[in-house]
Structure 1
Amino acid sequence: MTKLAFKKESLLSFFVEKAMELYFSLNVSYDAFLPYYQGVAEKVEVRDQHGRVLHINGKYFRPFLTPQGIRGKFKLMLNNDGSFKSLNKV
């Protein structure tokens, strides 16, 4: 029987890194997103691919706003402490 040996740190790092990548889709019109763009509304509520509800500051979506709104699939990356790292369209 073969035993696999993992360093505790590398295994933990693997799980933490994977847990901090969240994928979701967003389909919102320009008019519906305008309050977030203007800073009047703050948190955008989305549901990730596993059904978890995420509240993301609307300012992070500004680069993705077009005259048609925001449409697409996104990857949210969080730092190990849960703070925002990046948001990318995939």
Structure 2
Amino acid sequence: MTTTRRFQFSLNISPDEYLAYYRGTAKYIQTTTASGETIKFPASSLKKYLTHNGIHGHFEIEICENNKLLNINKINVKSDKNGIWL
């Protein structure tokens, strides 16, 4: 049985910032999860969430025990007035 781990995080990437990923000059996105851990994953995994405004929102990534990316999904997260996740 394969053990998987899930991490939640927020992204606010402008169209200009994502252009570096699109052109291939930057291949990975590094961010901090809601639990404070740093994760790094291929920028190409977010292409389906790219709009003319860039990539914005809350996401959940699932990785297997050898740190291979299995899935990434946009999620709905409730937060308080200060932006703290509930």
TM-score range normalised by the length of the shorter chain: 0.7 to 0.9
CA drift at 1:46: 0.7
Structure 1 segments, 4+ long, off by >4 Å, are none
Structure 2 residue 68 is matched with structure 1 residue 83 = yes
Deviation at 1:82, TM superposition (A): 1.7
Q: How many residue pairs align between the two structures?
A: 75
Among residues 11, 28, 33, which one is paired with 1:48 in the alignment? 33
Q: CA RMSD of the aligned region, Å?
A: 1.6
CA distance in 1, matches of 2:72, 2:51: 16
Unaligned runs of 5+ in 2: 76-86
- In structure 1, the residue matched to 2:19 is 34
2:47 counterpart residue number = 62
**Structure 1 position 83, deviation (Å):** 0.6
Aligned to 1:73: 58
Q: What is aligned with 2:6?
A: 21
Match of 2:81 in 1: none
Residue 66 of structure 1 aligns to a residue in which SS?
Answer: coil
Residue 81 of structure 1, CA deviation: 2.2
Q: Which runs of 5+ in 1 are unaligned?
A: 1-8
Q: Percent identity?
A: 27
- SS of alignment partner, residue 59 of structure 2: strand
